[in-house]
Amino acid sequence: MANATTPLLADDRRSAHSDDLSDSEEDALRGRSHATHTGRSLFSRSREALLFIWALLATAGVLILAVWISHHQQTSFTKPGGKRNLVFMVSDGMGPASLSLTRSFRQYTDGLDYGDTLTLDKHFWGTSRTRSSSSLITDSAAGATAFSCGEKSYNGAISTLPDSTPCGTVLEAAKRAGFVTGLVVTTDITDATPACFSSHVDMRTQNDEIALQQIGQGPLDRVVDLMFGGGRCRFLPNGTAGGCRKDDVNVVDIAKNDFGWNYIDDRASFDELWLGKKDVPLPMLGLFADTDIPFELDRRQLNDIYPSLSEMTETAIRALEKATKDSDKGFFLMIEGSRIDHAGHGNDPSAQVREVLEYDKAMKTVIEFLENSKVEGVMVATSDHETGGLSVAKQLNVEYPEYLWYPGVLANASWSSEHLAHRLHKHVAHHDPSIADLKRWIHDELVVPGLGIADATEEELTTVALYPALAQPALAKMISDRAQIGWSTHGHSAVDVNIYSYSAVGGPAAADALRGNVENTDVGRFLREYLGVDVDAVTQELREKRGLDTSAKQQQQNQLLEGDDESTGSRTGNGGGHNGETTESQPEIPDHWTAHEELETHRLEEEEQAEEAKEYTEV
């Protein structure tokens, strides 16, 4: 009877004698005597062992070769020859869930079939990991440094490495190589992402210095040919109308007088360029808002006084294409859908879907240009990180969750929670209403017409009335709850983000190095390799011109941090220990969403003062 280790269907009739007999029979069949069996058996077993080892080594070799080929396909790239254009698009703060949210919202509002997708969906290419050198969760500065320099750095770094030395950027290298360069954003042009392509400072909060470097007052002189966006107050001296610098430097005047910039700051001047009534003279600086260009949801209702992302994109591409018409080089253009991130920070789904749709429209503009261009070109798009921890579902009570969400709630909102909160702040500043009167005003003037919500609870209205400073997140929560949209944070998250790519001439294979799941630094390295530019040479030039060795620069930076109560962040380590904790403790980086809100409050106060002065003059 078989024991417990005997396999099923085994032959139990075998014995030692039968094994010997079998060996004898085999020897006889092969013409060998039993006397030689022992030698044959030893030789046979040695040969079998050698064959096994050979097969094992061959298999290992094949596996190693396969891994190498896979890695080589993801990280290597054959440089194209001839003239070429590169458009790099950044959807700041947009994670995969933002696409699901926006796609369904668009299908609902436009009455489209479930198979109708976004432009983004048609050009999905891969995903990117986003951690910085100092944290498992990156900020926009470290994320953009990975794109611009192809290197990991600490949160807060503007094209500066953890050892406090500058790293050359792909935009700077492109300019050195003869390409025409441009930046198009919807935030302050000195914000982290555009700053990382055009300046080098230790902390992202050094906006005043960033503005000066962007116009050309830096170690490499002027490296940008076109800049469209907001942030006008960073270029105007403190104490003047619309200025928010800490000094009395007029950067606009310096830009025009010392570096030859052409400057526009209003919709009428932009429209002459956008509509083709005038050619775009380079270098061109267009600053269309004191701080950030309003959310797309609000922009459409503000008498069209601000250009949209897609309009600025179209104008910039046309300008750069014309500027390179007779050149053997093309252009490099970075376009950022900047305020997707702000909508995530504010947990405002109504604002976010409109921002993503406008970014999608800008991408369509880029793709149409590449399709019709005779010059080889590639569009690569990705996000620096996800913001808000967005979930397209939310369980509102202890009962079994419903499998649905309501895009119609987002469609009913006509203003962002940010805009409505600013209106509340202005109302409270000019009136002294009772809580009851204020609740009534909030309901009648903000919630019903602005959010499209007619069933606000007493608790919700009381919260907004009692805590006006927290009105923005409270109003956004009213939208999210009714739409059943969830958020896990008002900050960033560590989720991988999508990569998109398109090339009409080179074909999809042009971005093969970014297929699959890659590091954000791989995106940065692809940009330089596609253009065939020498970023390392720019890095060396920067360090030589600054005249600082690493140790001296580190000492200078340590002194800066010790005297700056606002700066923060760990700079060293690779995300820290086993749990991604930072290995050094340094002062905390001021949250850029809070800084944005403070700047907006400052702007509104100035507007109110201007209105009061105007009313006084008229009286």
Residue 133 is a catalytic residue: no
Nearest to 526 by CA among 506, 496, 504: 506
Question: Is 248 a known ligand-binding residue?
Answer: no
Q: Which of 318, 363, 354, 296 is nearest to 336 (CA)?
A: 363
Q: Would the annotation count 221 as a binding residue? A: no
Q: What is the DSSP letter of 479?
A: H
Instruction: Point out which residues pair with 126 in neighbouring strands.
Output: 499, 516
The number of angstroms, rounded, from the C-alpha of 303 to the middle of its chain's C-alpha atoms is: 29
Q: Check whether 549 is labelled as a binding-site residue.
A: no
Task: At 111, give phi and psi (nearest 5°).
Answer: 65, 40
HSE of 101, CA atoms in CB hemisphere, 13 A: 32
Contacts of 597 by beta carbon, 8 Å cutoff, 6+ apart: 472
- Dihedral sign, Cα of residue 591, residue 211, residue 168, residue 310: positive
Strands in 131-289 per DSSP E? 180-188, 226-230, 262-264, 284-287
CB atoms within 10 A of CB 540: 12
Cα–Cα distance for residue pair 171/177, rounded to 1 Å: 10
Q: Which secondary structure element, helix H or strand E, spans residue 226, and what is its range?
A: strand 226-230
CB distance 384 to 140 below 8 Å: yes
Please give the Cα distance from 306 to 292 (Å, whole number).
10
Those residues whose C-beta lies under 8 Å from the C-beta of residue 302, and which sit 6 or more positions away, are 294
Token pair, residue 390, equals 């967005």
Angle subtended at Cα 66 by Cα 65 and Cα 70, rounded to the nearest 5 degrees:
115
DSSP per position, 78-96? PPPPS-EEEEEEE-TB--H
Q: Read out DSSP for 28-41?
A: HHTT--GGGHHHHH
Annotated binding residue 117: no
CB atoms within 10 A of CB 576: 17
Question: Which element (helix H / strand E) includes 129?
Answer: strand 124-129
Which residue, among 585, 575, 579, 500, has the nearest Cα to 133 in the 3D structure? 575
| Selection from 202, 133, 135 nearest residue 164 by Cα | 202
**Is 601 known to sit in a ligand binding site?**
no
* 191 labeled binding residue: yes
Place of tokens 């991408």: 363
Task: Give the CA distances from residue 452 to residues 25, 154, 412, 456, 475, in Å, rounded to whole numbers and listed in that order.
Answer: 93, 42, 5, 10, 11
Cis peptide bond N-terminal to 96, omega within 30 = no
Instruction: Round to whole Å and give the CA distance between 99 and 103.
Output: 6
The answer to whether 323 touches 225, Cβ cutoff 8 Å, is yes
H/E run at residue 43: helix 37-75
DSSP class of residue 234 equals G
CA 122 centroid distance within chain: 19
d(CA 234, CA 318): 27
Rounded Cα distance between 353 and 116, Å, is 16
Residues forming a β-bridge with 184: 228, 335
Is 432 annotated as ligand-binding? no
Catalytic residue among 128, 135, 140, 350: 140
For residue 548, report the phi and psi dihedrals to the nearest 5 degrees. Answer: -125, 130
Which amino acid does the sequence have at 448? V
Is 368 marked as a binding-site residue? no
116 is in an annotated binding site: no
Q: Which residues are annotated as a binding site?
A: 92, 191, 193, 336, 341, 345, 384-385, 492
Which residues are known catalytic residues?
Answer: 140
Q: Which residues are annotated as a binding site for Mg(2+)?
A: 92, 191, 193, 336
Q: Which residues are annotated as a binding site for Zn(2+)?
A: 92, 341, 345, 384-385, 492
